[in-house]
Structure 1
Amino acid sequence: MSVQLALSAALSGLRTTQQQAALASHNIANATTAGYVRRDLALSASFTGGQGSGVKVDAIARKVDELLIRDARHETSRYTGQEARASALADYALVLGQPQDERSVSTLLSKLQQAFSRLHDMPNDDAAQNAVVAQASSLVQGLNSAAEAARTVQTDARNRLQNSVDTVNGSLQRIGELNGAIASLDAKGGDTGDLRDERDRLLDTVSEEIGIRTYSRDDGQVVVMTRNGQTLLDGQLAPGKTPLTIVGNDLMANGASLSANPETDIQTGRIMGYVQTATQDMPRAMAQLDQLAAGIVQRFQNAEADPTKPGLFTDAGAAYTTTAGLASRIAVDASVKTESWRVQSGVQAIARLPAGDQTQIETFSAVFTATGTFTATDMPASATLGGYATAMVSVQQGYRTTAESEMNARKISADTLQSARVNRDGVNIDDEMQKLLLIEQSYGASAQVVQVAGRMIDILLQIKG
């Protein structure tokens, strides 16, 4: 090898180690930056006239495991979707209570039955009559509160759904801009690592909100689709373009509905959790409550002399009309609140029954032991009011515990894959520090070659002189 080739090789080594040191330092500086992917130099040998003349940098390599990223995003998306739903069910279940809780409608209904039982023993006792009215009012308040809680959770889910849709649309708009920048820079042979890191962070954000599939085109641009195949982004978005929109109560992806079957059309992500809460979980909870309220209103109305007129419980002061929304409208008849003797003689009674007459009280008490039919989802088809109320509270708590159990399982899986992703693609400071030591040694070796070559040139010049 000539002295010139030796110098060329050594100088290329110095330049390369300089770049390696700068890149290792950049990696270390970004070790705690979320979404940063470790960089390496892609090197190859250079040749001049068939002889090795050193080393050259081909590119700055940003190596990621696309399959691992895909799996990590999917599991995180499954977790966030279940978390959103479990949180909503927990909020509702907290108000509804456990079957044995004082505030639960099943306990309140049982206390009303007990109040009638005590009144049966003391039909003309004012305190016993007032206790029945108080327990009836507490039951109504419990039903009203549960219905209000279900509506609040549903409204909150819809508001959060809008926020998630806005987050997805904003992220996709920026991803489209990055698509264009990456394609342009790739064509010029530039380093797109930082742009790709930002794009991956945004894709992570999108996948937390809605389940997605992605694939990359040859020019570096990424295509984003929902898991059922609806395209959300292909290239770039026109200014103001919003792939996801909410029309009424329907979530649309570029004009196609996703709300009808969220488990198949959306599949994962917070958006699925919010859609399920708003369109399935809370409507089901309200329907169950309404059926209980309807059973209470109708049975006590039928216990009166004229079953077409209001009884102890009313539909906003009137006789029963329709089940939908009744848990919010159910009320204690106003006359009972001022004339408590009516719980002994009948709400429609013109005058008090004789002292000690238990006839009407027995009719009222029979309401609690009679079996009726129900049609609400996941509820018994035939049950007493108390049996139905206890089953309803238990079923709702079951929804919550099942959702929380699945959420916890998804979290473990998501955390495991995310840790594997960080370990695979992230920065290990110890490894980078070891690389710096090797780079230092390589730099020193190249510098020595330059020194030796310099002395050889000095000797040659002396000889020629």
Structure 2
Amino acid sequence: MSITGAMNAAMSGLRAAARGTELVSNNISNALTESYGRRELALSSMNYGANGGVRIDGTTRHVNEGVLADRRFADAAHQNIQTAVNFFQTLENVTGVAGDSEGLSGRLAAFEQSLITATSRPDAPERLTDTVIDAKRLIEGLVRASNDVQDMRTRADGQIAKEVDTLNTALQQVEQLNKQIITAQARGGSTPGLLDQRQAVLDTIGAIVPINVVPRDNNSVAIYTDGGAVLLDISAATVGFQRQNTVTAYQTIDNGTLSGLTLNGQDLRMSALAGGSLGGQFTVRDTYGVQAQTQLDAIARDLVERFADPALDATRGTGDPGLFTDAGGAFSLIDEVGLSARLSLNAAVDPAAGGEVWRLRDGLAATTPGPAGDAALLNDMRDALDAQRAPASGGFSTGNQSMSDLFSSFSGVLSSTRAGAERDLTFSAARLTEWTDLQLSQGVDTDQELQNLLILEQAYAANARVIQAADDMIETLTRL
């Protein structure tokens, strides 16, 4: 090898060592960056006659696509379950648990105790007033729970709209990144940075909807949902959704008053996008929220019907409302939806509405006070709460239940469902952590990178010594 050839070979070695050192530095600094793929310098030898050297062929990005796909599925499942847990925790905070005086069961117990207290002294106006107050507190609890359920459904509907916007934007970004990667490769440019960006965008999509990422030619990708919908194959699809400003108890996806999803203008089966945070929001809006509203309405109906029994109060006429009313009127069987939000106290006993508390004792339609010591109607009201009857709706047990049993059944099912969802969340979180740790473990190993750095420093020093030796030889030759 000539002196010039040796110097050229050493110079190529210096360039390779410098570029390798840069990659090692990037690897170490991005060791904890989720979407970062470990870089490695691709080298090959070059031989031209007696000359040699090293050629930099590019940068190779290392990512375990199988682990990455499993981590995305785990993330989607975790987001889906987290949405359910948030709903049940919020609903339980509103309706209360056993022993909570501000919960529904606690308010019912307070109303029942007020009736018992009033029965012992029916002549005491303050005891009748307390009974009216506790009856209104019970109503307020049911109204608040119903309103909060619809608020959660409204928020879920709004979150669906936001996630659909994010999904469409991300799909457009992947389409553009595919094109940029193909162009960069055609021009001999470097693509690892673009691949990192695309992985980050795919992770965003994967948290919203479980996806399968399918490789295509020239390092581009196609995206399919786990349910089989094509989100991107060359061109990005457009997911459509119509947001509602306010969701009411009357609105469901089944009766067509709430929007589902479309894909390129065509109706999309919900199962095609099941899982992920988007599917979780749909489940809250269309399943959990509807079920909770149905059960609250069933409880309100049972309460209204117990006190609307014609045998309970002889002063009322046929069809007149009882102590608990549907927005001031009698309850109609065909209008149960949203009853818990319309529940109100009969104005005849409500001083705030011009009524008199003594009508609790003497009858809702009584025109004048009766015997102050007559507790018969108050006793009958208390018995109405304890009467065993089968709930007419709500999906509760078909067995006979008292009013307190019905409230306890609702709270028990809610508590059990919430606890089950939290167990599922714990499992999904552990699974996500394991896959994330595995992904990171197969990414940048800082110890190995530091060893590589030592090797590169030695290579740099060796090539530098070759150049120094060649320079010394040339200098010697020039002095001859």
Normalised by the length of structure 2, the TM-score is: 0.88
**Displacement of 1:147 after TM fit?**
0.7
1:304 to 313, 327, 337: 313
Taking the aligned partners of 2:394 and 2:438, their CA distance within structure 1 comes to 42
In the TM superposition, what are the counterparts of 1:79-228 in structure 2 within 5 Å? 79-228=78-227
Corresponding residue for residue 253 of structure 1: 263
Taking the aligned partners of 1:256 and 1:392, their CA distance within structure 2 comes to 39
Cα deviation code 1:336-356 (max 9, x no counterpart):
013111111221234444343
Tell me which amino acid in the other structure corresponds to 2:277.
R
**Displacement of 1:277 after TM fit?**
0.6
**Displacement of 1:4 after TM fit?**
5.6
**Displacement of 1:255 after TM fit?**
4.0
Corresponding residue for residue 320 of structure 1: 331
Taking the aligned partners of 1:310 and 1:218, their CA distance within structure 2 comes to 72
Query: Counterpart of 1:373 in 2: which secondary structure?
Result: coil
Cα deviation code 1:284-314 (max 9, x no counterpart):
1111000010111111011233452111111
Taking the aligned partners of 1:367 and 1:349, their CA distance within structure 2 comes to 20
Taking the aligned partners of 1:286 and 1:52, their CA distance within structure 2 comes to 82
**Displacement of 1:195 after TM fit?**
0.8
Taking the aligned partners of 1:375 and 1:392, their CA distance within structure 2 comes to 14
Query: Counterpart of 2:123 in 1: which secondary structure?
Result: coil
Taking the aligned partners of 1:71 and 1:327, their CA distance within structure 2 comes to 44
Taking the aligned partners of 1:123 and 1:377, their CA distance within structure 2 comes to 35
Tell me which amino acid in the other structure corresponds to 1:310.
P
2:283 to 276, 284, 294: 276
Corresponding residue for residue 47 of structure 2: 47
Q: Which moved more, 1:113-122 or 1:188-197?
A: 113-122
Mapped contact 1:9–1:55 kept (Cα < 8 A): yes
In structure 2, relative to structure 1, the CA distance for the partners of 1:376 and 1:444 (3 Å cut) is farther
Corresponding residue for residue 243 of structure 1: 239
In structure 2, relative to structure 1, the CA distance for the partners of 1:229 and 1:18 (3 Å cut) is same
Query: Counterpart of 1:223 in 2: which secondary structure?
Result: strand
Structure 1: gaps (5+ residues): none
Corresponding residue for residue 251 of structure 2: none
Corresponding residue for residue 452 of structure 2: 435
Corresponding residue for residue 15 of structure 2: 15
**Displacement of 1:19 after TM fit?**
1.7
Taking the aligned partners of 1:257 and 1:90, their CA distance within structure 2 comes to 32
In structure 2, relative to structure 1, the CA distance for the partners of 1:223 and 1:55 (3 Å cut) is same
**Displacement of 1:130 after TM fit?**
1.4
In the TM superposition, what are the counterparts of 1:284-303 in structure 2 within 5 Å? 284-302=291-309, 303=312
Query: Counterpart of 1:232 in 2: which secondary structure?
Result: strand
**Displacement of 1:205 after TM fit?**
1.0
In structure 2, relative to structure 1, the CA distance for the partners of 1:257 and 1:377 (3 Å cut) is farther
Corresponding residue for residue 375 of structure 2: 358
Tell me which amino acid in the other structure corresponds to 2:191.
T
**Displacement of 1:394 after TM fit?**
1.9
Tell me which amino acid in the other structure corresponds to 2:429.
K
In structure 2, relative to structure 1, the CA distance for the partners of 1:120 and 1:95 (3 Å cut) is same
Root-mean-square deviation over aligned CA pairs: 2.4
**Displacement of 1:332 after TM fit?**
0.5
Taking the aligned partners of 2:372 and 2:23, their CA distance within structure 1 comes to 97
Taking the aligned partners of 1:450 and 1:375, their CA distance within structure 2 comes to 94
2:440 to 409, 422, 426: 422
Corresponding residue for residue 233 of structure 1: 232
In the TM superposition, what are the counterparts of 1:261-272 in structure 2 within 5 Å? 261=270, 264-272=271-279
Query: Counterpart of 1:219 in 2: which secondary structure?
Result: helix
**Displacement of 1:202 after TM fit?**
0.8
Taking the aligned partners of 1:225 and 1:377, their CA distance within structure 2 comes to 39
Tell me which amino acid in the other structure corresponds to 1:328.
A
Query: Counterpart of 1:308 in 2: which secondary structure?
Result: coil
Tell me which amino acid in the other structure corresponds to 2:274.
Q
Query: Counterpart of 1:440 in 2: which secondary structure?
Result: helix
Corresponding residue for residue 253 of structure 2: none
Taking the aligned partners of 1:331 and 1:34, their CA distance within structure 2 comes to 54
Tell me which amino acid in the other structure corresponds to 1:396.
L
Q: Which moved more, 1:280-289 or 1:446-455?
A: 446-455
Mapped contact 1:233–1:243 kept (Cα < 8 A): no
